Structure 1
Amino acid sequence: MRLLTPRSAGSSRLPVRPPSPVRRRTARAALAALAAVLMGPAPTAAAAPESTAATATADGFASVDALGQNGTTGGAGGPVVTATTTAQFLDYISRPGPLTVQVSGTITLPTGSTDGMHPVASDKTIVGLGGSARITGGGLHIGLPASDSVTSPPANAVHNIIIRNLRFDGASDDLINIQMFSHHIWIDHNDFSDGDDGAVDIKRGSDYVTVSWNRFHDHDKTLLLGHDDDNAAQDRGRLRVTYHHNYFDASDQRNPRIRFGDPVHVYNNYYRDNSYGVASTMDAGVVLEGNYFFSVNNPARVDFSGDLGRLVARDNILVDCNHAIETRGSVTEPRTYYAYTLHRAAEVPTVVPAGAGAGKI
């Protein structure tokens, strides 16, 4: 079939040769290149999130309906994006609204004027793809700026955040910092090491948090819960946190170190070669159960620094430890808030190292 040019005055019909396939492809490529120049680079295409990584359900205190939030759902219901560069990552985690941010490869966070701490907005799931997704050089900050004058949860408190399946290391401050009444946070199946200060610090009235199935190693000050003996106005009656199935792999201290939090639930964690495990102070209330302590100088203390804390211990195993667990007083049972199932303490040295850390979901 011949293609004809439109007839014009004084002209005759001239046959036109159809463009060759090569010319058609070349023209399409040129148009695509021009569009890219005019519109800028497109966002990284998002693969469907791994079902176990992005659709698992929070447990412990992060699962409790409170403060207007029904459990912790992160970015559920929002778009899914993939970050492969630092600029993309920092853009995505700071956007308003629900968003699942998949991390591919290594993201190096700058120090800049923030000492390497970068804010995460509410309603986010941040999840690593595969077993090697990594955040290095800086840390994540969850919460409003610190203020002593705010003594109850503000309406704009940061909330509903899930962080899973990532390797954190090399921060110039904390690896993750949670503060100023932030609530409903789930930190699960991550690897934490070599931060300059805390690995996961939770403070200033933050509440309804679960820290589960993480590996902490090559790190000194691991988990701080409540930052100051004089901060009762913000912390008393809050700082409700569940720590379960974490592997404290020669992480030296603060596993966790607790002020005011009540109740704090510490169960089925594996402690190996630590200077101390848990410290409960300033009338904090801790339920310590089903944990396995191997070569830990002080597995758990209530006489540490500041006012005494409270601690109820049951079904823990101590091997090659220098001191017994210190107990004192009574504590509200975690089952008042949520249901849970324990592994036997004797199973913990097998179950926890096999399942804790990044790349194991």
Structure 2
Amino acid sequence: MRNSPRRTAAVTLAAVLVGALLGAGPAGAAPAAPAPGALATADGFAGVASLGQGGTTGGAGGAVVTATTTARFLDYISRPEPLIVQVSGTITLPVGSVDGMHPVASDKTIVGLGDDARLTGGGLSIGLPADDRVTSPPANAVHNIIIRNLSIDGATDDLINIQMFSHHIWIDHNDFSNGDDGAVDIKRGSDFVTVSWNRFHDHDKTLLLGHDDDNAVQDRGRLRVTYHHNYFDASDQRNPRVRFAEPVHVYNNYYRDNSYGVASAMDAGVVLEGNYFFSVNNPARVDFSGDLGRLVERDNVLVDCNHAIETRGPVVEPRTYYSYTPHRAADVPTVVPAGAGVGKI
């Protein structure tokens, strides 16, 4: 009998991750597996060597474990050692006393198997508890996390929250929808993050970068994030909404039917290039709320949009930190929907 595409994808990914593993480890585990980085490597700011990290490698070198239940999943993501946590099927995250937000420890890869791995009902929290008194990266800041190939929906708070100087985080090839607050919020001095090849839909407040106009002491000089090849599929606003961060690199994203795309405020610096905006009321703004932001735009395409892109510069160039080769903006409506989301790594 011919295998279905879903079964083929699941078997292929599992084989890449565990096919040659030997030895013992935690229950259901085998050590010394290649991370899903063997399939791809973190790029953008997540790939930059800094803060003691040579890019983002997640659980590389750790055991491979497979979570099929809530209890097993929450146990694995909280362990102190490097782990590659494979998610099989649907896992419901409880609300409990933490409003459905569940902490992820450093050095983890969380990756869905096939095209139907799903987290629902709660979200993932990356970072120490919020504390205004901490104004520089602590030695125990959460770091080196990869989240790939998962559908995440229905959280009572954020779908993913990154905070308190967490760094080297790669959010790649996921599907985000129906959260009560942010889809992927990045704040409180977090740094060196890439959000790539994700689909955002049926969601209101999508991407917050910098949470408050009064938080310059933690955020200024940090919050360096790359957003590329994401599909903002009628996700309404904050795609992203930025404070203080510089540079923020927003390239080759497909915006379709949004109230606004990018908002840069509080002297944030955004480079917006090679994006395609279709039926977006305000593609990008620097006069939004609070102090003016800065934004440099190039090679973007606007179709059936009500306003032009607002600009104000200069902005530090992303190429100061890393190299990249963008697609032509005209190709984005074909390239991005074909490659963004789950089941495509």
TM-score, length of structure 2 as denominator length:
0.91
Cα shift readout 1:132-152 (whole Å, capped 9, x = no counterpart): 000000000000000000000
Could you tell me which residue of structure 2 aligns to residue 328 of structure 1?
A: 312
Q: Distance in 1 between matches of 2:30 and 2:296?
A: 46
Cα contact 1:312–1:329 (8 A) shared by 2: yes
Equivalent residue for 1:149, pick from 115, 130, 133: 133
Cα contact 1:54–1:125 (8 A) shared by 2: no
Equivalent residue for 1:56, pick from 40, 59, 70: 40
Cα contact 1:250–1:273 (8 A) shared by 2: yes
Alpha-carbon deviation of 1:43?
Answer: 2.8
Q: Secondary structure at the match of 2:280?
A: strand
Could you tell me which residue of structure 1 aligns to residue 28 of structure 2?
A: 44
Could you tell me which residue of structure 1 aligns to residue 327 of structure 2?
A: 343
Equivalent residue for 1:119, pick from 88, 103, 116: 103
Alpha-carbon deviation of 1:56?
Answer: 1.8
Cα shift readout 1:244-281 (whole Å, capped 9, x = no counterpart): 00000000000000000100000000000000000000
Query: Which amino acid letter does the alignment assign opposite residue 77 of structure 1?
Result: G
Query: Which amino acid letter does the alignment assign opposite residue 256 of structure 1?
Result: P
Q: Distance in 1 between matches of 2:189 and 2:272?
A: 22
Could you tell me which residue of structure 2 aligns to residue 279 of structure 1?
A: 263
Alpha-carbon deviation of 1:44?
Answer: 3.3
Alpha-carbon deviation of 1:48?
Answer: 10
Gaps of 5+ in 2: 1-25
Alpha-carbon deviation of 1:53?
Answer: 6.6
Q: Secondary structure at the match of 1:253?
A: coil
Counting matched residue pairs gives: 320
Equivalent residue for 2:114, pick from 98, 115, 130: 130
Task: Report the CA distance shift for 1:53/1:167 in structure 2 as closer, same or farther (over 3 A).
Answer: farther
Could you tell me which residue of structure 1 aligns to residue 215 of structure 2?
A: 231
Cα contact 2:175–2:341 (8 A) shared by 1: yes
Q: How does 1:66-85 map to 2 (within 5 A)?
A: 66-85=50-69
Q: Distance in 2 between matches of 1:71 and 1:50?
A: 16
Alpha-carbon deviation of 1:51?
Answer: 7.8
Q: Secondary structure at the match of 1:296?
A: coil
Could you tell me which residue of structure 2 aligns to residue 168 of structure 1?
A: 152
Determine what percentage of the aligned residue pairs are the same residue: 86
Equivalent residue for 2:162, pick from 178, 202, 221: 178
Q: Distance in 2 between matches of 1:204 and 1:171?
A: 21
Q: Distance in 1 between matches of 2:37 and 2:222?
A: 29
Could you tell me which residue of structure 1 aligns to residue 233 of structure 2?
A: 249
Query: Which amino acid letter does the alignment assign opposite residue 242 of structure 1?
Result: T
Q: Secondary structure at the match of 1:56?
A: coil
Cα shift readout 1:100-126 (whole Å, capped 9, x = no counterpart): 000000010000000000000000000
Q: Distance in 1 between matches of 2:334 and 2:283?
A: 19
Cα contact 1:49–1:102 (8 A) shared by 2: no
Cα shift readout 1:160-219 (whole Å, capped 9, x = no counterpart): 000000000000000000000000000000000000000000000000000000000000
Q: Secondary structure at the match of 1:177?
A: strand
Query: Which amino acid letter does the alignment assign opposite residue 95 of structure 2?
Result: T
Gaps of 5+ in 1: 1-41
Computing the radius of gyration from Cα coordinates, the structure with the larger value is 1
RMSD: 1.5
